[in-house]
């Protein structure tokens, strides 16, 4: 190692990686509150931490391998490059989060500048150096620095905003060039020499030749992959990925030979090996996935699905493994200090590696979302442990430096840092077993939180109706799919024990099966199954799916008792003498003593909320909210500068007050109904991440964008997310809403909001307000929407911005002479509105994309809108006073669609 890569703690070399890693962890924890959380996590880790490490260590190795003498100012120039890189990454992140593309562009240019400068320095160094056995490694670095600007340019174009399918293709090209080119080539080139060093053994023969041959194969494959993606050729992408795998296999042979001679036995080597395994596995999966994908949409989905595994499995593990080996060496201070620091960074190594890889493997599998969340936390924990250990290792290294070296043979070593691989075998096994146990425990906890996630027998036995058990058991497979049970009718001989094997074969929605005997299956996510032991059946039973609205859409199951044994289809029952217990399907009376009154009520009415009282009894249109009440913000949020709107809509099921003293368990986007207002210009791109943190399937449909609904509007099972991109090409106030069945229930229970796209020539006004009208069909207090009222179109209340009469209590302000614009959206789900301001006249009205009235001597008294229609009105108030605004569908104004403009004298 030549002297110019100075030893010891160098803040600019060692700290930025820690900062980016901590930021990645924070972004992971705060993901529901961050715009574009996946983008952020991936870029903090790969663009921040990994790129910084590449710049630092590729230089370090180039110096060491080429034996180039140190030159004056090397460290100053390296510091300048690192500052430029880290500043650039900061700007890119800020630009994307704040939707300021100019900032992103400036950041990307700084990153490209730093990497380009670094590349030029490497080329000069290579020329200056004497021919070296390890020149190949430096050539890998140079190829990587040439590819990064290509990948960064693609990324900058992506941040500008593109339409599908170009967006998906460019994303694949961007990820391919940066992950496989910039990161992949640097890592492979480094490991040629570092891998044997980390294993503390000799390089296997042929390593260096294999590396030389692999470089052109790998580089060409990166270009073919990216070019194929840009050109829309999936065959070329598959060829590129396969070529890259072939290039990797060239170097894999000597790597494996080296490892077989001296198997990995420490955290750094395990972590690097695991990381490379994830790279190979992910690429093979992706190649097959791209080859089998019917459209680019599906390719895009598979790339998105795989990227976190590449980032955490490959990127993070290789980075942390390599750093755990390299940092102690760079800290220097003699063998004792290096060993002391190494020992700290190796702590719990087996445990951490098993946690990370076990957690990732569980997350790859189609497990229930709770299990996935818990295993993701394990992965995060396993990786995050590196940061405190790094701090401790720096301290250990300093302490060892301060301790005088022990003369061999002169007493015992006071700091017996065990050399690599000399740990007691039992300790390693123990740690690995602990990690495995934690993964298993995580799965168990996930299942315990959400028991329906695994098959489990449940039994309830109030179905006998006093019948004598025959001792026979009948097992029936039932599928739940598309709002139907199949079969929908099950015939059972009286006295038979019935067991239902229930499977949710739906692609997207959650279902369950509830019987009027009280037996319940529990909620099943798509693909899950469970066993429902109905018990001995002596009477007819009604069953249904209890997910809101599903029963009303016909998701019911009937169990009919036949009573005669001989005629039974499966012929398995031979018990006679029970015919007297049979009753026909028209007999509605339950057998005496089998049902309590409330169960009987349950049986006839179905919806569980009905038995708990109706919140409509507590609704008083004349009541005022408490002093502490804060009305829903009615001011239209201002237009930002950005032309790409990245927002996360998280579906949550929350209890909210909807009128004084009336609460409902609403389904919301980001916690409120209506959901957040999105405000943009013509041509803007909206990139919305929808996260379903609810308990049943939900979705979103943006009227503001025109596209094939099949994929972006699909229903997401709980715990999943999707990205919905559209370009706003037409002006208006557009509705967005949940489009999961039954839509009437999902909209009525809170899942709606507005997107405002301004017409090109929209004049400035003094004030802009936005009112979304919707209906409330109250269920029980704190319960969900009453489906029967929805079906009968009998709302209890009609409201502006989600709360009855809220702007009577908290009026909207205006001044005389001011021009006031009021945007109105009728979210329904069912009723029309006629927006009117008492005492006001509109001189301008705009509905559904066109002006109805603009200038002239005419005026308008109301803006009429059907369900899912929107527009705006403009008016000036002639004198101070309180001007009520209403839906002039008077019955609605009287049940909550009412508010007030409080108009003050102009200043
Ligand atoms: Cu929904």
% pLDDT > 70, the chain: 85
Cβ–Cβ under 8 Å, residues 147 and 244: no
CA distances from 294 to 164, 305, 722, 727, 791 (A): 16, 16, 19, 24, 39
- Listed range (388-397, 701-710, 757-766) with the worst mean pLDDT: 388-397
What is the whole-number distance in angstroms between the Cα of residue 333 and the centre of ligand 1? Answer: 61
What is the whole-number distance in angstroms between the Cα of residue 186 and the centre of ligand 1? Answer: 46
Distance CA 170, CA 524 (A): 37
Q: How many CA atoms lie within 13 A of 444 on its CB side?
A: 6
* β-bridge pairing 678-680 and 752-757: parallel
- Answer yes or no: is pLDDT of 377 > 90: no
Cβ–Cβ under 8 Å, residues 461 and 536: yes
Determine the average pLDDT of the residues in 621-631: 90
Strand order in the sheet with 732-737: 678-680, 752-757, 732-737, 701-702
| Ramachandran angles phi, psi of 370, nearest 5° | -60, -45
What is the whole-number distance in angstroms between the Cα of residue 832 and the centre of ligand 1? Answer: 22
What is the whole-number distance in angstroms between the Cα of residue 701 and the centre of ligand 1? Answer: 10
Q: Is the peptide bond before 412 cis (omega within 30 degrees of 0)?
A: no
What is the whole-number distance in angstroms between the Cα of residue 565 and the centre of ligand 1? Answer: 45
Please tell me the predicted confidence (pLDDT) of residue 880: 95
Other Cβ atoms closer than 10 A to 413: 9
pLDDT in tens, 79-106: 899 999 999 999 999 988 887 888 999 9
Would you tell me the crossing angle of helices 386-402 and 11-29 to the nearest 10 degrees?
150
Distance CA 129, CA 139 (A): 13
* β-bridge pairing 489-492 and 556-561: parallel
- Answer yes or no: is pLDDT of 365 > 90: no
Q: pLDDT-based confidence at 263, cuts 50/70/90? A: confident
* Greater pLDDT, 146 or 641: 146
358, 42, 689, 31: CA torsion to nearest 10: 70
Please tell me the predicted confidence (pLDDT) of residue 860: 96
| Ramachandran angles phi, psi of 674, nearest 5° | -65, 160
What is the whole-number distance in angstroms between the Cα of residue 753 and the centre of ligand 1? Answer: 13
- Nearest of 762, 743, 626 to residue 682 by alpha carbon: 762
Distance CA 730, CA 350 (A): 57
Determine the average pLDDT of the residues in 812-816: 96
DSSP state of 34: S
Distance CA 309, CA 312 (A): 5
- Answer yes or no: is pLDDT of 423 > 70: no
Strand order in the sheet with 850-854: 797-800, 767-776, 819-828, 869-876, 844-847, 850-854
Q: How many CA atoms lie within 13 A of 587 on its CB side?
A: 13
SS3 354: helix
Contacts with 294 (C-beta within 8 Å, 6 or more apart), sequence order = none
Mean pLDDT for all residues in the chain = 84
Determine the average pLDDT of the residues in 158-184: 84
Determine the average pLDDT of the residues in 217-226: 95
Helices (H), 346-384: 349-364, 369-384
Instruction: For residue 702, give the H/E element and its range.
Output: strand 701-702
What is the whole-number distance in angstroms between the Cα of residue 482 and the centre of ligand 1? Answer: 16
Cβ–Cβ under 8 Å, residues 579 and 564: yes
**Beta strand segments in 829-897, E:** 833-837, 844-847, 850-854, 863-865, 869-876, 881-887
pLDDT in tens, 338-348: 888 888 888 88
Q: Is the peptide bond before 581 cis (omega within 30 degrees of 0)?
A: no
Cβ–Cβ under 8 Å, residues 795 and 789: yes
Distance CA 492, CA 462 (A): 16
525 Rama class: left (phi>0) / alpha (psi -120 to 50) / beta:
beta
Determine the average pLDDT of the residues in 792-814: 95
What is the whole-number distance in angstroms between the Cα of residue 871 and the centre of ligand 1? Answer: 25
Contacts with 347 (C-beta within 8 Å, 6 or more apart), sequence order = 267, 389
pLDDT in tens, 293-308: 877 777 887 888 888 8
Distance CA 309, CA 41 (A): 12
Degrees to nearest 5, angle at CA 599 with 594 and 602: 145
Q: Is 425 exposed, middle or buried (0-12, 13-18, 19+ CB in 10 A)?
A: exposed
What is the whole-number distance in angstroms between the Cα of residue 587 and the centre of ligand 1? Answer: 37
Q: How far is CA 513 from the centre of its chain?
A: 29
Q: pLDDT-based confidence at 1, cuts 50/70/90? A: very low
What is the whole-number distance in angstroms between the Cα of residue 752 and the centre of ligand 1? Answer: 9
Residue with tokens 């800290």: 331
CA distances from 733 to 123, 433, 760 (A): 57, 58, 13
DSSP state of 417: P
- Nearest of 469, 540, 539, 458 to residue 501 by alpha carbon: 458
What is the whole-number distance in angstroms between the Cα of residue 525 and the centre of ligand 1? Answer: 15
- Answer yes or no: is pLDDT of 567 > 90: no
pLDDT in tens, 485-519: 988 889 888 888 889 999 998 888 889 998 888 88
What is the whole-number distance in angstroms between the Cα of residue 716 and the centre of ligand 1? Answer: 9
- Answer yes or no: is pLDDT of 467 > 80: no
Contacts with 635 (C-beta within 8 Å, 6 or more apart), sequence order = 767, 768, 769, 770
* Greater pLDDT, 577 or 821: 821
Greatest CA separation for the chain: 107
Would you tell me the crossing angle of helices 207-231 and 186-199 to the nearest 10 degrees?
150
| Ramachandran angles phi, psi of 64, nearest 5° | -70, -40
The C-alpha R_g of the chain, in whole angstroms, comes to 33
What is the whole-number distance in angstroms between the Cα of residue 599 and the centre of ligand 1? Answer: 29
- Answer yes or no: is pLDDT of 417 > 60: no
What is the whole-number distance in angstroms between the Cα of residue 748 and the centre of ligand 1? Answer: 10
Distance CA 456, CA 522 (A): 10
Distance CA 774, CA 802 (A): 7
SS3 267: helix
Distance CA 540, CA 547 (A): 22
What is the whole-number distance in angstroms between the Cα of residue 809 and the centre of ligand 1? Answer: 30
What is the whole-number distance in angstroms between the Cα of residue 746 and the centre of ligand 1? Answer: 5
pLDDT in tens, 590-599: 333 333 333 3
What is the whole-number distance in angstroms between the Cα of residue 550 and the centre of ligand 1? Answer: 12
What is the whole-number distance in angstroms between the Cα of residue 751 and the centre of ligand 1? Answer: 6
Distance CA 565, CA 576 (A): 6
SS3 32: helix
- Nearest of 253, 256, 185, 258 to residue 217 by alpha carbon: 185
What is the whole-number distance in angstroms between the Cα of residue 663 and the centre of ligand 1? Answer: 19
* β-bridge pairing 812-815 and 898-904: parallel
SS3 494: coil
Determine the average pLDDT of the residues in 736-753: 95
Q: pLDDT-based confidence at 214, cuts 50/70/90? A: very high
Instruction: For residue 219, give the H/E element and its range.
Output: helix 207-231
SS3 67: coil
Q: pLDDT-based confidence at 462, cuts 50/70/90? A: low
What is the whole-number distance in angstroms between the Cα of residue 882 and the centre of ligand 1? Answer: 38
Residue with tokens 């690097």: 272
Please tell me the predicted confidence (pLDDT) of residue 568: 40
563 Rama class: left (phi>0) / alpha (psi -120 to 50) / beta:
left
What is the whole-number distance in angstroms between the Cα of residue 699 and the centre of ligand 1? Answer: 6
Please tell me the predicted confidence (pLDDT) of residue 443: 66
Q: pLDDT-based confidence at 162, cuts 50/70/90? A: low
Distance CA 867, CA 472 (A): 55
The β-bridge partners of 635 are: 769
What is the whole-number distance in angstroms between the Cα of residue 741 and the centre of ligand 1? Answer: 8
What is the whole-number distance in angstroms between the Cα of residue 797 and the centre of ligand 1? Answer: 20
């Amino acid at each position: 190692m030549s002297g110019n890569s100075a030893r010891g703690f160098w803040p600019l070399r060692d700290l930025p990686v820690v900062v980016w890693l901590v930021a990645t962890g924070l972004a992971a924890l705060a993901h529901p509150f961050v715009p574009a959380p996946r983008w952020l996590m991936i870029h903090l880790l790969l663009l921040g931490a990994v790129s910084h490490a590449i710049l630092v260590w590729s230089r370090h190795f180039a110096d060491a391998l080429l034996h180039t003498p140190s030159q004056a100012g090397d460290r100053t120039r390296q510091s300048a490059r690192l500052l430029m890189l880290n500043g650039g990454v900061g700007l890119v992140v800020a630009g994307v989060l704040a939707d300021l593309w100019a900032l992103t562009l400036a950041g990307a240019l700084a990153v490209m500048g730093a990497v380009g400068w670094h590349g030029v320095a490497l080329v000069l160094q290579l020329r200056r150096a004497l021919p070296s056995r390890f020149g190949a490694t430096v050539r890998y670095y140079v190829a990587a620095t040439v590819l990064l600007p290509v990948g960064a340019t693609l990324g900058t174009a992506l941040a500008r905003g593109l339409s599908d399918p170009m967006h998906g293709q460019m994303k694949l090209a961007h990820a391919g060039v940066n992950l496989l080119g910039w990161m992949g080539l640097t890592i492979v080139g480094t490991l040629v020499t570092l891998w044997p060093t980390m294993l503390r053994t000799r390089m296997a023969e042929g390593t260096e030749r294999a590396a030389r041959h692999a470089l052109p194969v790998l580089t060409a494959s990166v270009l073919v992959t990216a070019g194929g993606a840009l050109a829309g050729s999936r065959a070329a992408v598959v060829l590129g990925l396969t070529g890259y795998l072939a290039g990797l296999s060239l170097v894999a042979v000597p790597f494996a030979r080296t490892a077989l001679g001296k198997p990995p036995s420490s955290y750094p080597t395990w972590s690097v090996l695991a990381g490379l395994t994830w790279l190979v596995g992910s690429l093979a999966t992706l190649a097959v996935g791209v080859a089998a994908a019917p459209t680019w949409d599906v390719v895009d989905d598979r790339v998105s699905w795989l990227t976190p595994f590449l980032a955490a499995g490959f990127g993070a593990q290789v980075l942390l493994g390599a750093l755990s080996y390299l940092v102690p060496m760079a800290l220097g201070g003699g063998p004792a200090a290096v060993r002391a620091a190494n020992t700290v960074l190796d702590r719990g190594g087996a445990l951490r590696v098993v946690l990370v890889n076990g957690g990732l493997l569980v997350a790859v599998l189609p497990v229930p979302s709770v299990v996935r969340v818990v295993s993701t936390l394990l992965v995060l924990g396993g990786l995050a442990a590196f940061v405190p250990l790094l701090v401790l290792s720096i301290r250990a290294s300093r302490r060892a430096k301060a301790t005088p070296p022990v003369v061999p043979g002169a007493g015992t070593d006071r700091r017996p840092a065990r050399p690599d691989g000399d740990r007691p075998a039992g300790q390693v096994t123990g740690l690995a077993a602990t990690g495995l146990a934690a993964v298993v425990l995580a799965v168990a906890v996930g299942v315990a939180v959400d028991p329906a996630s695994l098959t489990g027998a449940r039994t309830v036995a109030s179905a006998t109706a006093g019948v004598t058990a025959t001792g026979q058991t009948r097992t029936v497979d039932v599928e739940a799919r598309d709002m139907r049970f199949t079969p929908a009718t099950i015939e059972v001989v009286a006295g038979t024990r019935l067991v239902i094997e229930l499977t949710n074969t739906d692609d997207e929605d959650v279902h369950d099966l509830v019987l009027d005997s009280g037996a319940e299956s529990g909620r099943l996510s798509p693909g899950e199954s469970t066993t429902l032991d109905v018990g001995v059946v002596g009477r007819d039973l009604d069953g249904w799916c209890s997910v809101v609205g599903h029963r009303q859409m016909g998701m019911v199951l009937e169990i009919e008792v036949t009573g005669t044994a001989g005629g039974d289809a499966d012929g398995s029952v031979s018990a006679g003498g029970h015919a007297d217990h049979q009753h026909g399907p028209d007999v509605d009376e339950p057998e005496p003593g089998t049902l309590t009154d409330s169960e009987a009520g349950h049986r006839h009415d179905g919806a569980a909320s009905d038995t708990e009282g109706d919140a409509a009894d507590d609704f008083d249109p004349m009541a005022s909210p408490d002093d502490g009440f804060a009305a829903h913000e009615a001011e239209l949020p201002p237009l930002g500068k950005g032309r790409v709107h990245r927002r996360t809509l998280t579906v949550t099921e929350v209890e909210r007050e909807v009128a004084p003293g009336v609460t409902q368990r609403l389904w919301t986007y980001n916690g409120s109904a209506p959901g957040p207002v999105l405000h943009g210009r013509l041509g803007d791109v909206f990139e919305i991440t929808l996260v379903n943190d609810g308990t049943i399937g939900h979705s979103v449909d943006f009227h503001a964008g025109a596209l094939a609904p099949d994929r972006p509007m699909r229903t997401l099972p709980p715990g999943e997310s999707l990205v919905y991109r559209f370009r706003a090409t037409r002006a208006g106030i557009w509705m967005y809403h949940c489009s999961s069945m039954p839509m009437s229930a999902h909209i009525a229970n809170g899942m709606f909001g507005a997107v405002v796209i301004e017409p090109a020539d929209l004049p400035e006004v003094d004030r802009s307000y936005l009112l979304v009208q919707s209906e409330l069909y109250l269920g029980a207090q704190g319960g969900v929407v009453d489906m029967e009222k929805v079906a009968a179109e009998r709302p209890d209340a009609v409201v502006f911005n989600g709360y009855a009469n809220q702007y009577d209590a908290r009026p909207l302000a205006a001044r005389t002479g001011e021009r006031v614009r009021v945007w109105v959206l009728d979210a329904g789900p069912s009723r029309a509105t006629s927006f009117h301001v008492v005492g006001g006249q509109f001189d301008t009205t705009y509905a559904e994309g066109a002006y109805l009235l603009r200038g002239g001597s005419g005026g308008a008294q109301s803006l009429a809108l059907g369900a899912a229609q929107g527009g705006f009105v403009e008016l000036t108030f002639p004198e101070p006073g309180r001007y009520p605004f209403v839906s002039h569908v008077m019955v609605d104004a009287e049940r909550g669609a009412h508010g007030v403009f409080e108009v003050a004298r102009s200043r």
